């Protein structure tokens, strides 16, 4: 390929509304262009990267015995009602009507369609196990599309589905996909962690996420410094923390004028924040109603919304507005506590139950309660569970070592669905003994655009992208410093043709731009190897190599250039 023929225009400055590095560099390097909010076009260089990722995925899926299919994007409401997810998926599901008024959705995932398809195609245990996958666009009506390809309304995804005889067979397939995903992300050149994860709206008994470590990651992950323990913050656990507790005291009301926050009250009463019991009010949204709920946890802890949501069974939870809280309790925010709180479910974090003499809101303006003993004083109908986030002072639940908290970008997730969908769709097979059995299913997804963006988040410098070799749009760029100089041009062209003969992915910058502009564009786009052809090349028969990832510069005899590049690219 020649730069003069390439459909590509680089941009010097960040466009408006850029929040993270990958979004900026994908736009500036001419990889993608915004079409609408959360919707992007891929240009040739970007599409080459996408296809590199797709090819790696296909090779590893086919190696694992999977078969590729293509399923419809437009899906009927009836299918989603059959699975029970038409309402569960909520506002993210893009719904539409045809000219006859029949309702459809644009697919965010394909569990319904694939299960309905397979149930009509299999009969016997001899037809299983079966593992099908596709690479296709998906659609979600994100309330706030952001971060470029990380959170968009239209996105490219590999989704796969396995159909197994039983849970033992599913476990075997799950492990095969787990290992295949590790190979995929390793071949993509990513530094990642595999973490235990919440199954969310997909459902199932178990799930793992593949998280690329990045400062701009959208999710928190926790992993041990010494053992293999790793989990998404949504599921992370820790060894029981030993707190210094006060002795049992009498329950007392104390005046705390205008003291509302944990810090204000703990300073005023001269008590450690871990002995403060803060009560937070959330709104839980269900199919046809909503209600306020309370969660109580130590003052030094933060609520984990996913753990709380899972405990409530709600479709969604969110912090209640102050006005809603005050209307429900007839109290200003800051003085609410679980003792005397009526008309809502109370979820109490398990760490609270060890407190012997703590402090809570007193359910009256400018009043708090001291000497609170939850075992003695809390209502009998509280719901106790793990509702807090792990933090950096906690210890590994498996080996007791320190935990690292990092940010990550989810690029893949695997699920053990079991019979959740096969039961809904009556997807069965006839066993060897003649009985009918429900199929046990698994689900396996990879965000293709996310993988591309996550690579940039992890591999860039102040000059631009640093593509890993496995997914770079081209491996080599040749830059003749002066295309008008016949000797330089001819030498560069000869090298270009020799690399093409060896099936090396090479592009030559044959434009009349200055050498400086060519160097800047080369670094911005992120080609792994840059070869500079200048006067020294003509006079000394040597070329300058620069390795993008390390910045290393190498001078190589021209006649050895092709062999050297082949060795570097191995």
pLDDT tens-digit profile of 399-432?
999 999 999 999 999 999 999 999 999 999 999 9
Mean pLDDT for the stretch of residues 550-561: 93
Q: 429 Cβ partners below 8 Å, 6+ apart?
A: 122, 123, 124, 125, 127, 128, 165, 436, 437, 439
pLDDT tens-digit profile of 180-197?
999 999 999 999 999 988
Mean pLDDT for the stretch of residues 171-175: 96
pLDDT of 201 > 60? The answer is no
Q: Report percent pLDDT > 90 for the chain.
A: 87
pLDDT tens-digit profile of 99-141?
999 999 999 999 999 999 999 999 999 999 999 999 999 999 9
Q: Which ranges of 314-383 would DSSP assign to H, the alpha helix?
A: 322-329, 374-377
The 3-state DSSP composition of the chain as helix, strand, coil percent (nearest 5) reads 30, 30, 40
Q: 239 Cβ partners below 8 Å, 6+ apart?
A: 394, 395, 396, 397, 400
Which CATH architecture is the domain 252-385 placed in? Answer: Alpha-Beta Complex (3.90)
Which pLDDT does position 205 carry in this prediction?
Answer: 64
Place of tokens 């007392």: 252
Which pLDDT does position 202 carry in this prediction?
Answer: 57
CATH number of 10-68+108-237+405-457: 3.30.930.10
Backbone angles phi, psi at 542, to 5 degrees: -130, 155
Q: Place domain 474-569 in its CATH homologous superfamily.
A: Anticodon-binding domain (3.40.50.800)
Mean pLDDT for the stretch of residues 342-361: 95
In this structure, the strands spanning 345-349 and 383-385 are: parallel
Please give the Cα distance from 86 to 137 (Å, whole number): 20
pLDDT tens-digit profile of 80-104?
999 999 988 888 999 999 999 999 9
What six digits make up the tokens of 165? Answer: 């005889």
Which pLDDT does position 216 carry in this prediction?
Answer: 84
Q: Domain locations in the chain?
A: 10-68+108-237+405-457, 252-385, 474-569
Among 224-238, 300-314, 386-400, 424-438, which is the least confidently predicted range?
224-238
Which pLDDT does position 199 carry in this prediction?
Answer: 62
Find how far residue 270's CA is from the centre of its chain: 42
Place of tokens 């699920």: 415
Please give the C-alpha separations between residue 147 and each of 20, 46, 450, 503, in angstroms, as whole numbers.
6, 16, 10, 36
Please give the C-alpha separations between residue 307 and each of 56, 199, 223, 392, in angstroms, as whole numbers.
35, 12, 18, 19
CA atoms within 13 A on the CB side of 110: 25
Please give the Cα distance from 473 to 471 (Å, whole number): 6
pLDDT band at 234 (very low <50, low <70, confident <90, very high): confident
Helix or strand run (H / E) with residue 498: helix 486-501
pLDDT band at 203 (very low <50, low <70, confident <90, very high): low
Mean pLDDT, the chain, rounded, equals 94
Which pLDDT does position 219 carry in this prediction?
Answer: 86
pLDDT band at 206 (very low <50, low <70, confident <90, very high): confident
pLDDT tens-digit profile of 139-156?
999 988 989 999 999 999
Please give the Cα distance from 211 to 18 (Å, whole number): 22
This model's pTM is above 0.85: yes
């Amino acid at each position: 390929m020649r730069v003069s023929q390439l459909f590509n225009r680089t941009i010097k400055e960040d466009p408006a509304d850029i929040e993270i590095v990958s979004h900026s560099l994908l736009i500036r390097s001419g990889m993608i262009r915004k079409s609408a909010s959360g919707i992007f076009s891929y240009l040739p260089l970007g599409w080459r990267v996408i296809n590199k990722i797709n090819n790696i995925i296909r090779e590893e899926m086919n190696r694992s015995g999977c078969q590729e299919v293509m399923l419809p994007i437009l899906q009927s409401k009836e299918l989603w009602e059959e699975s029970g997810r038409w309402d569960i998926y909520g506002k993210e599901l893009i719904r539409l009507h045809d000219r006859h008024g029949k309702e459809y959705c644009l697919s965010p995932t394909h569990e319904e369609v694939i299960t309905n398809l397979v149930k009509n195609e299999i009969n016997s245990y001899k037809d299983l196990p079966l593992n099908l996958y596709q690479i296709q666009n998906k659609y979600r009506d994100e309330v706030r599309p952001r971060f470029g390809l990380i959170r968009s309304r239209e996105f490219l995804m590999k989704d796969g589905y396995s159909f197994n005889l039983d849970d033992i067979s599913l476990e075997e397939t799950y492990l095969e996909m787990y290992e295949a995903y590790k190979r995929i992300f390793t071949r993509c050149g990513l530094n990642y962690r595999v973490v235990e994860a919440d199954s969310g709206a997909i459902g199932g008994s178990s799930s793992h996420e593949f998280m690329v470590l990045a400062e701009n990651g959208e999710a928190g992950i926790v992993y041990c410094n010494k053992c293999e323990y790793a989990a998404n913050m949504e599921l992370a656990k820790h060894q029981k923390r030993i707190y210094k507790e006060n002795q049992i005291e009498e329950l007392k009301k104390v005046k705390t004028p205008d003291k509302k926050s944990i810090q204000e009250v703990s300073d005023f009463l001269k008590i450690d924040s871990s002995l403060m019991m803060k009560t937070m009010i959330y709104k839980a949204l269900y199919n046809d109603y909503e209600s306020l709920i309370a969660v109580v946890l130590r003052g030094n802890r933060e609520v984990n919304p996913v753990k709380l949501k899972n405990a409530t069974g709600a479709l969604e939870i969110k912090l209640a507005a102050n006005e809603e809280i005050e209307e429900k309790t007839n109290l200003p925010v800051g003085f609410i506590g679980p003792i005397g709180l009526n008309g809502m479910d109370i979820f109490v974090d398990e760490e609270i139950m060890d407190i012997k003499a703590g402090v809570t809101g007193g359910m009256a303006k400018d009043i708090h309660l001291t000497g609170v003993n939850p075992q003695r004083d809390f209502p009998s109908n509280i719901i106790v569970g793990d509702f807090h986030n792990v933090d950096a002072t906690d210890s590994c639940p498996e080996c007791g070592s320190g935990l690292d908290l990092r940010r990550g970008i989810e690029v893949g997730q695997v699920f053990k669905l079991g019979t959740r969908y096969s039961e809904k769709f009556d997807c069965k097979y006839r066993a060897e003994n003649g009985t009918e059995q429900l199929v046990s299913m698994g689900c396996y997804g990879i965000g293709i655009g996310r993988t591309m963006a996550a690579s940039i988040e992890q591999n860039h410098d102040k000059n631009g992208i640093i593509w890993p070799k496995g997914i770079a749009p081209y491996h080599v760029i040749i830059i003749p410093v002066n295309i008008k100089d016949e000797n330089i041009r001819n030498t560069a062209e000869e090298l270009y043709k020799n690399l093409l003969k060896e099936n090396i992915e090479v592009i030559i910058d044959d434009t009349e731009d200055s050498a400086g502009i060519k160097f800047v564009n080369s670094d911005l786009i992120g080609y792994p190897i840059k070869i500079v052809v200048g006067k020294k090349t003509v006079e000394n028969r040597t070329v300058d190599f620069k390795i993008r990832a390390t910045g290393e510069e190498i001078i190589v005899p021209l006649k050895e250039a092709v062999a050297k590049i082949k060795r570097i690219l191995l």
